[in-house]
Amino acid sequence: MLGRVKTISYNLRKNRAVGELADLVDTHGAELLCLQEADTLHLPSRIGSLSLVHATEKNRLGLAMYVDSARFDVQSAQAFQLKKSLHDRLLSPAHERLLGARIHDRETGSDFIAASFHAAPLTALNSLRRTQIRTAIDELGAIGPGLPTIMVGDYNYPVFQNRLTATMQQSGYATNFSDKRTYNRYLLFRGHYDFVTSTGFDIAGVQTLGRGSSDHLPILVTSARAEALRPVLPLAA
């Protein structure tokens, strides 16, 4: 499929799973790799065939993105601060919860936006996470107005997902969950935490990959640019 992109998203659980990344990229042929809870000061410049685009700098554990530099040219990349939860303010400050990049795809001759996202933990309300998602969408839209956008990561949103899906849908964004749960460590908190929101992309599949040393399971997103793009509307409250 022309324009197909394979993206892996993985919450590394305080960087514990960093040693698994090269095998994941190689086994699944990933062209984009989006990380959460990475030790960004000690990440390698390359993982398999992928090159480091950018990583957050203000967090103790942060976000990072790698791309296939043989296929993609990164036009710009930036980390963004989102509204903080009480947990962020008091315990483990996470100043930057979004990392976005404008990318040129040599295969299709077109640009798109990719992002790694990590929402506030479960100690916060879903309303705060929706606010963070709305802000993230606005920030990514400013990087490339009207461009196809794909945002993957740990949304920390395992319950009442219908409201989030409806909110996104009303504004032209699709929410796609994987075939299996991505968090199984504690019985009360099991569910789909790691998923993808997008506009201007057809999502062919979201697969939960095998368990590693993280408490999250990585996901593999297979996507392609939609032939007919819908207009991008402001995200509903």
- Cβ(7)–Cβ(218) below 8 Å: no
One pLDDT digit (tens) per residue for the chain, 237 residues? 568 999 999 999 999 999 999 999 999 999 999 999 999 999 999 999 999 999 998 887 899 999 999 999 999 999 999 988 665 655 566 679 999 999 999 999 999 999 999 999 888 899 999 999 999 999 999 999 999 999 999 999 988 899 999 988 887 899 999 999 999 776 557 899 999 999 999 999 999 999 999 999 999 999 998 863 444 444 444
pTM for the full model? 0.91
Q: Which two tokens stand for residue 30?
A: 């990933």
Per-residue pLDDT at 231: 44
In a domain, 87, yes or no: yes
User: Which one-letter DSSP state was computed for residue 94?
Assistant: -
In a domain, 235, yes or no: no
Q: Which domain holds residue 110?
A: 5-225
126-143 and 161-170 helices, crossing angle to 10°: 30
In a domain, 232, yes or no: no
In a domain, 233, yes or no: no
- Cβ(106)–Cβ(92) below 8 Å: no
- Mark out the alpha helices in 146-225 (DSSP H runs): 161-170
Question: At which residue do the structure tokens 């939960």 appear?
Answer: 208
Name the domain count of the chain.
1
In the chain, helix, strand, coil percent, each to 5? 20, 40, 40
In a domain, 230, yes or no: no
Provide the 3-class DSSP secondary structure of residue 222.
strand
For the beta sheet containing 194-199, the strands, ordered from the edge strand earlier in sequence to the opposite edge, are 72-81, 96-105, 110-118, 149-154, 194-199, 174-176
In a domain, 83, yes or no: yes
In a domain, 148, yes or no: yes
- Cβ(217)–Cβ(183) below 8 Å: yes
Strand ranges (E), the chain: 5-11, 32-38, 46-47, 50-55, 62-67, 72-81, 96-105, 110-118, 149-154, 174-176, 194-199, 201-208, 219-225
CATH number, domain containing residue 199? 3.60.10.10
In a domain, 128, yes or no: yes
